[in-house]
Structure 1
Amino acid sequence: MDLPYFFMVLLTIIVICVTFLLRHQRTINAKIGFICWISLSVYFIIDYIVIQTTTVPYNFLGQPMSDLGVTTCGNNTYELSSLFSSDICSPYHLLMNWTFTLTGLVIFVGTIFLHQFWPDNRKTRMAAIFLVIFGLSYTMAGIFPADVNFLGHTLPSIPGMIVQIPALILIGLSIRKEMPRLSIWTFICTLITTSALILMSLQPFVDIFGFLQRILYGSVYLWMVITAIALWPLYHKVHQM
């Protein structure tokens, strides 16, 4: 394993350990959680920068997001790549893979630290588990680029494309009385990410797989950003009492 990817693994282990050690420090955790989820707003800025640096044309609509993290240039650099593209070359692949890794970690940390704002019941605990899987699957995609370890990249990514749906449904149901507007927003994002997943599974839409994949993940990122902003006043209200 190359040194940068070793550091990704090391950072992931440290973040997971520290997060669980600090999970009961509610005041500082809330601030960290807000920052983590709001920071997801920069993901597609980096995505755009990396796309602009590719040395062969990158099809934003058709090619998977993973292509930007492929470490080698050429044709058929990983299994199934021929379904989406004939050529890949992303000089900033390391930046993209660090972005994948850090994106998953901030989702993970935000999920654990902001759980305090949801009703404490089985639904929200299950939702937290699903979102933890969602985040860590993204981290694994950065640690294992598709051309280096296709199974290590792909297998964790599969649940990460699905688990956000039951997570958002459970949260939406749990907060529909206490936070009706946020509940509606949650169900809207659930509908968007679910629709994207369904369309991705249909062969005629393979030409826009990359676009649908960005909607699939981006709708959840947007939900997290807006949700963190919406919960922030609640934090200040509680701590002013």
Structure 2
Amino acid sequence: MNPSRLARIGASCWILAAPLFLAANVLTALRWHNPAFSWATHNISDLGNVHCGIWDTTRPRNVCSPWHPLMNTAILATAALLAAGLVLTWRALGHGVVVRLAQSLLLLAVLGYALAGAYPADVDENLHVLGAVLILVVGNLGLPIAGLAPRTTTLGRYRVLTLSAGLIALAGSVLFFAQQGLGLGVGAMERVAAFPFSVWASCVGVALLAGARTPGPARP
């Protein structure tokens, strides 16, 4: 069944989410000079920190992000795009307990993006950490659950993609919270945990729009 007009708008929002989030990470990181940004050492949150200085007592890092407004605005925009995609494709992705549970958990992860963007870590650490937990724990549980959606649903058609993204993200979360970088660095492991959701959403958005353009069977 082809998605509705609203679902196609939602799919378009999803397509934009990952490119926006990734571009903001890259552009903001490129503006770091003293110190230079390290993808292995620095966290995503460091890009949004408002003040310069040594940050984090557990794993101290020298942080100074001149373009932090760009990063925080992009995180909020990513949250808006992911939220719009979820809401507008809500019915199109299918019905049933598994589908609705996955969608609800992913919607909570979107709230996490909004909190992380609105409250940089060095402005309100508690709300920022809550946002990170919603993204890296709640959202990364929602993805593999979405991968268990019945194959009779639209969401279930993307099982391999969804389970792959979910398991990678969940493993990244476990390793990040354990502060294990596996040779990549703890900062890089956070990206393994955080990026799959938006990348998955963009891929599903492409698939939904491609399905909408595929002509159905000719009527007799």
Alignment TM class, shorter chain as reference: 0.7 to 0.9
Task: Name the CA distance, whole Å, in 1 between partners of 2:50 and 2:95.
Answer: 43
* Pairs aligned (count): 212
Q: Which aligned pairs between 1:165-184 and structure 2 lie closer than 5 A?
A: 165-177=140-152, 182-184=158-160
User: Cα–Cα, structure 1 residues 129 and 238, in superposed 2: closer, same or farther, change >3 Å?
Assistant: farther
Which residue number corresponds to residue 112 of structure 2? 137
Contact 2:48–2:121 (CA under 8 A) maintained in structure 1: yes
Matched, 1:69 2:48: yes
User: Cα–Cα, structure 1 residues 204 and 216, in superposed 2: closer, same or farther, change >3 Å?
Assistant: closer
Greater Cα shift, 118-127 or 203-212: 203-212
- TM-score (structure 1 length as normaliser): 0.79
Structure 1: tracts of 5 or more residues without a match: 1-25
Which residue number corresponds to residue 134 of structure 2? 159
Structure 1 position 119, deviation (Å): 2.0
Amino acid at match of 2:62: D
Structure 1 position 52, deviation (Å): 0.6
Contact 2:42–2:61 (CA under 8 A) maintained in structure 1: no
Task: Name the CA distance, whole Å, in 1 between partners of 2:204 and 2:28.
Answer: 27
SS in 2 for 1:173: coil
2:39 to 54, 60, 63: 60
Which residue number corresponds to residue 107 of structure 1? 82
- TM-score (structure 2 length as normaliser): 0.86
Q: Which aligned pairs between 1:1-241 and structure 2 lie closer than 5 A?
A: 27-42=4-19, 43-55=21-33, 56-76=35-55, 81-177=56-152, 182-205=158-181, 208-236=185-213
Structure 1 position 175, deviation (Å): 3.6
Encode CA deviations 1:31-69: one digit per residue, 9 max, x unaligned: 321121100232212211110101322221111100010
Contact 1:105–1:136 (CA under 8 A) maintained in structure 2: no
Contact 1:63–1:84 (CA under 8 A) maintained in structure 2: no
Structure 1 position 237, deviation (Å): 5.3
Task: Name the CA distance, whole Å, in 2 between partners of 1:201 and 1:75.
Answer: 20
Q: Which of the pair has the greater relative contact order for Cα pairs under 8 Å at 6+ separation?
A: 2
Structure 2: tracts of 5 or more residues without a match: none
Task: Name the CA distance, whole Å, in 1 between partners of 2:94 and 2:51.
Answer: 47
Encode CA deviations 1:177-236: one digit per residue, 9 max, x unaligned: 456651111111111111111211324439722111111121122211111111223334
Task: Name the CA distance, whole Å, in 2 between partners of 1:178 and 1:238.
Answer: 19
Contact 2:50–2:65 (CA under 8 A) maintained in structure 1: yes
Task: Name the CA distance, whole Å, in 2 between partners of 1:181 and 1:119.
Answer: 10
Higher helix share: 1
CA RMSD of aligned residues (A): 2.4
Greater Cα shift, 134-143 or 206-215: 206-215
Contact 1:30–1:235 (CA under 8 A) maintained in structure 2: no
Task: Name the CA distance, whole Å, in 2 between partners of 1:200 and 1:86.
Answer: 16
